[in-house]
Structure 1
Amino acid sequence: MDVFHCTIDTSHGAVGISDTIDGAAPLVMIHGSGSSRTVFSRQLHSHLSRNWRLIALDLPGHGESSDARDPQSTYTVTGLADCIGEVAARLGLHRFPVLGWSLGGHVAIEMAGSGNSISGLMLCGTPPVPSGLLGMLRGFHPSFDILLASKENFTSRDVERFQSLCFGDTSNPSFRDAIARADGRLRSVFSRAMLRGQGVDQRRTVEQADIPIAFVNGFHDPFVKLSYFSGLNIQLLFEGKAHVMEGAGHAPFWEKPESFNSMLDRFLNTVAAHEANIDLKNHHFLSNRSVF
C-alpha cells in the first residue's frame, strides 16, 4: 500500500502528514514528545493499511511540521488538540479512533473530552491522570529522567538519554535527529500546562467515556506506573484489561510491531462494531419517532 505525504496549513502552523488514503475507516496516530510521524512506520507499512486508512502527523514543532506561530498557545494540550482537529477537518474526518503515544495520548484524551469526534482511544505510555502535580505523581515514576520531558534545551547527552528511554535498544538513527530537531519550547510549555491542570481531567474523561478504550504499555516502560491502570474504571475497556507487552518499553508499537499490529487490528474492529451498533440504535430511534 502506498503512503502519501503532504503538508496541511493550520492556524497553528504547517503540519506534515502521512496518509494511506485507502481503507475502510480512518485511524489518526499521534506521536510523543521529541518524535515524529516516522515512529509509526511499522504500522503505516504493514497489513493494517489493507483494511484501514492510517494517518500519522507531525505535531507542531516536530518532524516536518513548522514550529508553532504562537508557542504559548499551541504547545499546550488544548492547543495541540485544536491543531489536530483542524487537520482532521481538512481531511474530511468526522468521527475516528486515535492511537496516541505518550504526550500524543494526552492530546488524544483532550480531544475525546472536548468533543464528539473521537470514536475510540488506544493509548500507549499514557496514564490518564487527574489534573495537577499530585495526579501526575500517581501515574508516573518520579525520577530525574522524567524531568527531561519538561526541559526546554537539550544537550547532546540529553538527546541520547531521551532516545534510550523512549526506544531502548531498538532505536532507529532517525529518532535521534527527530529529538534534536524538536522545538524544546513545547516540552516546557506543555509540562507547565499539564501541571496547572489545563484541559480536561484525563482520568475522569476516560472513566466517563462511552467509547472503546485500550491501554497498551510495555512491561519495561521507564516512565509509567503500570499498577495505576488497575485502579481505573473504564466502561468499554478493550478485551477487559490493560495490556502489557513483554519485552517492550515505552514504545511497544515500534519494539513489538507484529504483536502490536494484531492487537490494533482487533481494536479497530471493536471500534467499528461499536459505531455500527450506535448507528443501528439511532436508526431504530428515528424510525420509532416517525411512527408518531
Structure 2
Amino acid sequence: MRTATINHTAIAYLDSAPGAGTDRVLLLLHGHAFDKSMWDRQVQHFGALGWRVLAPDLRGFGESEVTPGIVYTEEFAADAVGLLDALKVPSAVVLGYSMGGQVAMEIQHSHPERVRALAIVDTVPQAEDAAGRRRRNTTADRLVAEGMHAYASDVLGVMIAAYNVQAKPEVAAKVLEMIRRSPAAGSAAAMRGRASRRDFAETLAAVTVPALVIAGADDAFDGGAAARMHELMPHSTFVRIDGAGHTPSMEQPEAFNAALEEFLAKL
C-alpha cells in the first residue's frame, strides 16, 4: 500500500507496477462502503497481463483520510485525476463500479483527455430525484448515528446476489467485512455527496473513446440502467454476467476478467 497527498488529503492506493510505463494503465474505482481490496482478483489478473493497475481507496474509505460532512462526486474525481498527476500518468483506462462508476463518469465529464477508455460496472447515470436525495441523506444520518455493522448486514443481500450469500460464503464474508470496516463518517459524507450528483446522460452521449458496460444479471439496483448507458454511448460494448448481482467482479471474477480482458485487447 502506498500513500500520496492529493488535494490536501492522504490517499492510499495500490500500484501493481510502481515506476513502470504509462501506456497500459488501468485505474479501478471502488464502490460505496467498499475499498481497493474489492479488486484483488483484477489486480492479480491484469497485472500478470502487463497492465499497470492503480486501485485507490477513495477519500473516506479504506486507508485513505476521512473528510467528514459531505464529499461530492466532483471531489472524488479530482482526487483520481490528482493521483494520475502525481504518478505522471497522462491517461488511463478508467473503470468504475457503482459509486465509482459515477466518479468515472465525472472524470469523463471534467477531464475527458485523461480517459483512454471508459468502463462502467453496475451503476446508474441519472441524477437523484427528490425522494432519492431524502433517502441518501437519511441513510447518511443513520451511518453516523449507528455505525456500519447493522447497515452492512442489511445491504449484504443486495450488494451481492442473495443466492450468492449462501453459495459463495467467502465472497459474502469479504463484502460484509469491507462494509463493516468502512469509516462511518467517510461513508456518510459520500452518501450525502451522491445525493446531489449530476445527470450523466449528456456526458455519456458525448463519449468518443471505447467504452464497456458490465452488469450482473441479477443486480438489484440496475433497473435497466446498464442497457441505457450502452444505448447512450456510441462506441460501447455491453456484457451481462450471469450468476452475479451488484458486484460481478467478486461474485464471478473469471467471467468479469474475461469480459474486461477482451475489451482491453481491442484498444
Q: 1:167 aligns with which of 137, 146, 160?
A: 160
Q: How far 1:183 moved relative to its partner?
A: 2.9
Q: Deviations over 1:179-216 (max 9, x none)?
A: 123233444443444433x44x3111111111112110
Q: Is the 8 A contact 1:33 1:104 kept in 2?
A: yes
Q: Distance in 1 between matches of 2:160 and 2:139?
A: 15
Q: Is the 8 A contact 2:60 2:187 kept in 1?
A: no
Q: 1:117 aligns with which of 114, 124, 129?
A: 114
What secondary structure does 2:143 align onto?
A: coil
What secondary structure does 1:38 align onto?
A: helix
Q: Deviations over 1:227-259 (max 9, x none)?
A: 662473311112xxx321111111111111111
- Where relative contact order (Cα < 8 A, 6+ residues apart) is larger, the structure is 2
The alignment status of 1:176 with 2:169, answered yes or no, reads no
**Distance verdict in 2 for CA 1:268–1:135, change over 3 Å:** farther
Q: Distance in 2 between matches of 1:37 and 1:149?
A: 21
Q: How far 1:134 moved relative to its partner?
A: 7.0
**Number of residue equivalences:** 252
Q: Is the 8 A contact 2:84 2:91 kept in 1?
A: no
Query: Greater Rg, structure 1 or structure 2?
Result: 1
Identity of aligned residues (%): 23
- The within-5 A match list for 1:68-83 is 68=67, 71-72=68-69, 75-83=71-79
- The within-5 A match list for 1:94-243 is 94-115=90-111, 116-129=113-126, 131-133=127-129, 151-153=142-144, 154=147, 156-168=149-161, 169=165, 170=168, 171=171, 173-196=173-196, 198-199=197-198, 201-226=199-224, 229-230=227-228, 232-238=231-237, 242-243=238-239
User: Counterpart of 1:6?
Assistant: 2
- The within-5 A match list for 1:13-24 is 13-21=9-17, 22=20
User: Counterpart of 2:55?
Assistant: 56
Amino acid aligned to 1:217: A
Q: Distance in 2 between matches of 1:227 and 1:10?
A: 32
Unaligned runs of 5+ in 1: 138-143, 273-292
Q: Is the 8 A contact 2:66 2:186 kept in 1?
A: no
What secondary structure does 2:4 align onto?
A: strand
Q: Distance in 2 between matches of 1:227 and 1:167?
A: 17
